[in-house]
Amino acid sequence: MNRKDLRIRVAGKEDVPLVLEFIKKLARYERLSHEVTVTEEILRENLFEGRRVAEAILAEHQQIAVGFALYFHNFSTFIGQAGIFIEDLYVDELCRGRGFGRALFLYIARLARERGCGRVEWSVLDWNRPAIQFYESLGAKPQSGWTTYRLAGEALQKLSEAP
């Protein structure tokens, strides 16, 4: 791949349909399509209007979008610094292994340094060996001894209504 043919850019409001398309492709790949309820309106509101809670970037090859990443800031009380959490990162299947995923990570790593962040984190499904191998090739290390928990749906509703 010729580096001049690759461009990473910040997604704009006009890119919301494309971001949603990538989210749906990622969900299909992860066998989680049944969990996708996000709409263009929800993305637009949360990425570009009011209180922006996340950001997105696009990878383009010869002016065609081939991947994306969606991320947001978190905070580590132990190190006293903000971090970046990558919620989603996806590269179209036919474009994998050509440096697009690495370019997305490089952009986020540089952004983290520019913003004074102490770390970049993300989750990966334990069966996704190609992604795990890719992340480890970047120098990332799995966090052992931690289990991710999620409070959502009915359980979240019930807890929020507790006396």
- Catalytic (active-site) positions: 135
In three-state secondary structure terms, 25 is: helix
DSSP per position, 66-126: EEEEEEEEEEETTTTEEEEEEEEEEE-GGGTTSSHHHHHHHHHHHHHHHTT-SEEEE---T
Q: Phi-psi region for residue 115, left (φ > 0), alpha (ψ -120 to 50) or beta?
A: alpha
Q: Exposed, middle or buried, 66 (CB in 10 Å: 0-12/13-18/19+)?
A: buried
- Residues ≥6 apart with Cβ < 8 Å to 53: 46, 47, 72
The residue written with tokens 């983290």 in the block is: 112
